[in-house]
Protein backbone atom coordinates (compact mmCIF):
# COMPACT_ATOMS: atom_id res chain seq x y z
CA UNK A 1 0.00 0.00 0.00
CA UNK A 2 1.42 3.35 -1.03
CA UNK A 3 1.07 6.00 1.66
CA UNK A 4 2.21 9.56 2.15
CA UNK A 5 3.44 9.00 5.73
CA UNK A 6 7.09 8.88 4.70
CA UNK A 7 6.88 12.31 3.07
CA UNK A 8 4.87 13.81 5.93
CA UNK A 9 7.20 12.53 8.63
CA UNK A 10 10.42 13.22 6.70
CA UNK A 11 9.86 16.26 4.46
CA UNK A 12 13.55 16.48 3.57
CA UNK A 13 13.22 13.13 1.79
CA UNK A 14 10.79 14.49 -0.81
CA UNK A 15 12.18 18.01 -1.03
CA UNK A 16 15.76 16.83 -1.54
CA UNK A 17 14.56 14.35 -4.17
CA UNK A 18 12.83 17.22 -5.98
CA UNK A 19 16.05 19.20 -5.83
CA UNK A 20 18.04 16.24 -7.21
CA UNK A 21 15.59 16.15 -10.12
CA UNK A 22 16.64 19.75 -10.93
CA UNK A 23 13.39 21.28 -9.75
CA UNK A 24 13.72 24.78 -8.25
CA UNK A 25 13.18 23.82 -4.61
CA UNK A 26 14.75 26.47 -2.38
CA UNK A 27 13.80 28.28 0.79
CA UNK A 28 11.10 30.87 -0.09
CA UNK A 29 10.58 29.44 -3.59
CA UNK A 30 7.22 28.60 -5.13
CA UNK A 31 6.06 24.99 -5.21
CA UNK A 32 3.04 24.08 -7.28
CA UNK A 33 0.69 21.18 -6.69
CA UNK A 34 1.54 19.67 -10.08
CA UNK A 35 5.28 19.76 -9.21
CA UNK A 36 4.53 17.91 -5.99
CA UNK A 37 2.35 15.37 -7.78
CA UNK A 38 4.95 14.50 -10.40
CA UNK A 39 7.77 14.48 -7.83
CA UNK A 40 5.87 11.88 -5.78
CA UNK A 41 5.17 9.84 -8.90
CA UNK A 42 8.84 9.93 -9.97
CA UNK A 43 10.01 9.21 -6.43
CA UNK A 44 8.12 5.91 -6.32
CA UNK A 45 9.26 5.01 -9.84
CA UNK A 46 12.93 5.79 -9.22
CA UNK A 47 13.44 4.63 -5.63
CA UNK A 48 10.96 1.78 -5.20
CA UNK A 49 10.36 0.71 -8.79
CA UNK A 50 6.59 1.10 -8.37
CA UNK A 51 4.57 2.82 -11.07
CA UNK A 52 1.63 4.74 -9.66
CA UNK A 53 -1.31 6.31 -11.46
CA UNK A 54 -1.69 10.07 -11.81
CA UNK A 55 -4.86 10.17 -9.71
CA UNK A 56 -3.13 8.38 -6.82
CA UNK A 57 -0.13 10.72 -7.10
CA UNK A 58 -2.52 13.69 -7.07
CA UNK A 59 -4.25 12.37 -3.94
CA UNK A 60 -0.90 11.81 -2.19
CA UNK A 61 0.27 15.29 -3.21
CA UNK A 62 -2.86 16.80 -1.66
CA UNK A 63 -2.25 14.94 1.61
CA UNK A 64 1.41 15.97 1.68
CA UNK A 65 0.58 19.60 0.91
CA UNK A 66 -2.04 19.77 3.69
CA UNK A 67 0.39 18.22 6.17
CA UNK A 68 3.18 20.61 5.16
CA UNK A 69 0.85 23.60 5.57
CA UNK A 70 -0.04 22.41 9.09
CA UNK A 71 3.64 21.94 9.94
CA UNK A 72 4.55 25.37 8.56
CA UNK A 73 6.74 24.03 5.77
CA UNK A 74 4.37 25.37 3.12
CA UNK A 75 2.54 28.67 3.14
CA UNK A 76 -0.50 28.56 0.89
CA UNK A 77 -0.34 31.29 -1.76
CA UNK A 78 -3.27 30.22 -3.94
CA UNK A 79 -5.28 27.01 -4.43
CA UNK A 80 -2.47 25.34 -6.38
CA UNK A 81 0.63 27.16 -5.18
CA UNK A 82 2.69 27.25 -2.01
CA UNK A 83 5.72 29.10 -0.74
CA UNK A 84 8.40 26.84 0.72
CA UNK A 85 9.51 27.76 4.24
CA UNK A 86 12.44 25.40 4.75
CA UNK A 87 15.71 27.18 5.67
CA UNK A 88 17.71 23.96 5.34
CA UNK A 89 17.26 24.30 1.56
CA UNK A 90 18.59 27.85 1.34
CA UNK A 91 20.86 28.59 -1.59
CA UNK A 92 24.53 28.88 -0.70
CA UNK A 93 25.94 32.38 -0.42
CA UNK A 94 28.71 31.51 -2.88
CA UNK A 95 27.45 30.01 -6.10
CA UNK A 96 23.72 30.50 -5.71
CA UNK A 97 21.29 28.12 -7.36
CA UNK A 98 23.85 26.49 -9.65
CA UNK A 99 25.85 25.26 -6.67
CA UNK A 100 22.68 24.02 -5.01
CA UNK A 101 21.67 22.10 -8.13
CA UNK A 102 25.10 20.51 -8.39
CA UNK A 103 25.18 19.79 -4.65
CA UNK A 104 28.47 21.60 -4.18
CA UNK A 105 29.57 23.16 -0.97
CA UNK A 106 31.27 26.57 -1.10
CA UNK A 107 34.63 24.86 -0.50
CA UNK A 108 34.28 22.68 -3.60
CA UNK A 109 33.31 25.50 -5.91
CA UNK A 110 35.72 27.42 -8.05
CA UNK A 111 36.36 30.93 -6.81
CA UNK A 112 34.31 33.57 -8.61
CA UNK A 113 36.04 35.31 -11.46
CA UNK A 114 37.52 38.63 -10.48
CA UNK A 115 36.09 41.66 -12.19
CA UNK A 116 38.51 43.33 -14.58
CA UNK A 117 40.34 46.26 -13.07
CA UNK A 118 38.90 49.59 -14.15
CA UNK A 119 40.96 51.49 -16.67
CA UNK A 120 43.09 54.23 -15.24
CA UNK A 121 41.74 57.69 -15.80
CA UNK A 122 43.91 59.81 -18.09
CA UNK A 123 45.70 62.74 -16.57
CA UNK A 124 43.93 66.04 -16.79
CA UNK A 125 44.12 66.95 -20.46
CA UNK A 126 44.37 70.45 -21.77
CA UNK A 127 40.97 72.09 -21.95
CA UNK A 128 39.30 71.83 -25.32
CA UNK A 129 38.69 75.05 -27.20
CA UNK A 130 35.11 76.23 -27.23
CA UNK A 131 33.12 75.16 -30.27
CA UNK A 132 32.48 77.80 -32.87
CA UNK A 133 28.97 79.19 -32.78
CA UNK A 134 26.60 77.95 -35.46
CA UNK A 135 25.65 80.48 -38.10
CA UNK A 136 22.17 81.88 -37.79
CA UNK A 137 19.58 80.35 -40.09
CA UNK A 138 18.75 82.46 -43.08
CA UNK A 139 15.09 83.11 -43.65
CA UNK A 140 13.50 81.03 -46.40
CA UNK A 141 12.73 82.87 -49.61
CA UNK A 142 9.13 83.84 -50.05
CA UNK A 143 7.21 81.39 -52.17
CA UNK A 144 5.36 82.51 -55.17
CA UNK A 145 1.62 82.18 -55.40
CA UNK A 146 1.88 79.56 -58.14
CA UNK A 147 4.12 77.16 -56.23
CA UNK A 148 2.28 77.36 -52.90
CA UNK A 149 3.61 78.06 -49.46
CA UNK A 150 6.85 76.53 -48.29
CA UNK A 151 6.73 75.30 -44.70
CA UNK A 152 8.77 77.44 -42.33
CA UNK A 153 12.19 75.99 -41.61
CA UNK A 154 12.19 73.89 -44.78
CA UNK A 155 15.41 73.96 -46.81
CA UNK A 156 13.66 73.31 -50.08
CA UNK A 157 10.06 72.95 -51.13
CA UNK A 158 8.75 69.39 -51.08
CA UNK A 159 8.74 67.55 -54.43
CA UNK A 160 4.97 67.51 -54.72
CA UNK A 161 4.90 71.33 -54.40
CA UNK A 162 7.17 71.84 -57.42
CA UNK A 163 5.71 72.18 -60.90
Secondary structure in 3-state letters for 29-89 = CEEEHHHHHHHHHHHHHHHHCCCCCHHHHHHHHHHHHHHHHHHCCEEEEECCEEEECCHHH
From first to last of its 163 residues, what are the pLDDT tens digits of the chain? 688 888 899 998 898 888 888 888 888 888 999 999 999 999 999 988 899 999 999 999 999 999 999 999 999 999 889 998 888 877 766 655 555 555 544 444 444 445 555 666 666 666 666 676 666 665 555 544 455 666 677 777 777 776 6
How much is the pLDDT for 78? Answer: 92
DSSP assigned state of 155: S
149: Cβ contacts below 8 Å, ≥ 6 apart: 143
Amino acid sequence: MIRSDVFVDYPYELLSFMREQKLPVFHNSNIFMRDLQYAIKHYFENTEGTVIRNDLAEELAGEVARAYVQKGIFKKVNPIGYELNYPELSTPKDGGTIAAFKGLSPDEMMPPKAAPAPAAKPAAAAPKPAAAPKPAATPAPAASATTGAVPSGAKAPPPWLKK
